[in-house]
Amino acid sequence: MINSDQFLMDSGFWGWLYKLLTPVEWLMMQVMGLLHRLLTLIGMSPVGFSWVLSIIFLVLVVHSCILPIYIKQMKSMRKMQALQPKLQRIQNKYKGKNDQASKEAMQRETMKLYQDNDANPAGSCLPLLIQSPVFMCMFYILSAIPYIARGVREPITLFGSAGLFGVEEAKQFAQSNIIGVGFTDTFSGSGTHGKIIMGVFVALMCGGLWFQQHYSMKHNMSPEALAGPAAGTQKAMLWIFPIMYIFSGILMPFAVLVYWLTNNICNLLRMMWQVYEFPTPGTPAAEAKKKRDHDRENARRAKAGQISIEEEELARAKEEAERKLTQGYQRVQPQRKNRRKKG
């Protein structure tokens, strides 16, 4: 792709799509250009490692912006998971009833359940809808920069301005290299040293993606899910996606590999934090969180001079036993006030 005089991502359907995303692309290039200028102000060379750090910092900035939405997604997913038994009862209530009135009644009860619990079934889709264009733009601009440097493509502009990232910055980027590999080099166009370095990057990317899926399956999937029909799909994905990375990774410029590896590490850390804080109910991670929360509550109570959870439960059990001894085992039925006496 880099050795061609035509930037293929500007043609066909993708060209039309990336044209719509121009404001996002321009903004990301401004952030990267600003980060690069800050690094040069503190004494780093405008060519070389300063661009590596600019890419890494840009990925971190993007993930930081998305993190609040991601947290909201996790909370929305937990609410939906907690509502599943109630949703199941509503569905069972209208099971087999296909008339219009029953369908509308089931829909009303379902929507009321969502509203009463402040749950949004579409909440888990929002981060994906935001993340996908953002990371597509990141891939696009890193692929476009070498063409801008060679004059094959115009800089990305908004309202007629390239801002902090024009032709000069693109040339500095294209001239940069780290550990003997140029930013615009690809696997096929590199020597033995470049192939080894890029091969290590691709291997790390594939290994990170494999570990991410393996960790999620091991800690955040219930035994029932691992034994069900979805288990085969999950195990296939465990190997298919890393293998796909191999074929796509050897075609990409080295700068894109730097971005991909940084992004993979961020995704892995975020996923591990998600499993730690927002595990799926019924999974090993959920049991581990339940124990952590229990221990933390006991530690908090001990610090405040309060009784432990176990002592509280024991005291409650003793009170219940004493009540049964004094009042008998027959539960006292509640009486309505002002109940009319039968004549």
Query: Tell me, what DSSP letter sits at residue 155?
Result: P
How many residues are given for the chain?
343
How is residue 107 written in tokens?
């829909």
How far is 93 from 106, CA to CA, in rounded Å? 8
DSSP string, 79-116: HHHHHHHHHHHHHHHTTT--SHHHHHHHHHHHHHHHHH
Q: Is residue 297 part of a domain?
A: yes
Query: In sequence order, what are the beta bridge partners of 182?
Result: 177
Q: Is residue 315 part of a domain?
A: yes
Which of these three, 178, 197, 229, is where a domain ends? 178
Which of the pair, 173 or 4, is modelled with greater confidence?
173
Best CA proximity match to 250, nearest among 331, 187, 208, 302: 187
Question: Residue 70's CB: how many other CB atoms inside 10 A?
Answer: 19
Q: Is residue 259 part of a domain?
A: no
What is the average pLDDT value for the chain, to the nearest integer? 82
How far is 187 from 252, CA to CA, in rounded Å? 8
Q: Is residue 273 part of a domain?
A: no
Between the alpha carbon of residue 174 and those of residues 28, 189, 282, 301, the distances in Å are 18, 15, 50, 59
Which of these three, 178, 193, 208, is where a domain ends? 178
Q: What burial class does residue 18 get, using C-beta atoms within 10 Å of its C-beta: 0-12 exposed, 13-18 middle, 19+ buried?
A: buried
- What is the model's pTM? 0.76
In this structure, are 294 and 174 located in the same domain?
no
Q: Is residue 209 part of a domain?
A: no
Instruction: Give the model confidence (pLDDT) of 17-64 as tens digits.
Output: 888 888 988 999 999 999 999 999 999 989 889 999 999 999 999 888
Q: Is residue 208 part of a domain?
A: no
pLDDT score recorded for residue 231:
65
In this structure, are 152 and 34 located in the same domain?
yes
Q: Which residues contact 34 (CB under 8 A, 6 or more apart)?
A: 164
Instruction: Give the model confidence (pLDDT) of 94-137 as tens digits.
Output: 777 777 787 788 888 888 877 777 766 665 566 666 677 887 88
pLDDT score recorded for residue 2:
44
**H helices present in the chain, as ranges:** 12-20, 22-41, 49-93, 100-116, 126-149, 167-175, 192-220, 223-227, 230-249, 254-277, 284-304, 309-327
In this structure, are 293 and 166 located in the same domain?
no
How is residue 318 written in tokens?
């003793």
pLDDT score recorded for residue 292:
92
Q: Is residue 105 part of a domain?
A: yes
Q: How many domains does the chain have?
A: 2
pLDDT score recorded for residue 51:
92
Mean pLDDT, residues 184-190 taken together: 82
pLDDT score recorded for residue 291:
92
Query: In sequence order, what are the beta bridge partners of 181?
Result: 178
Which of these three, 151, 178, 205, is where a domain ends? 178
Mean pLDDT, residues 193-209 taken together: 89
Provide the residue range defining the domain that includes 111. Answer: 1-178
Q: Is residue 3 part of a domain?
A: yes
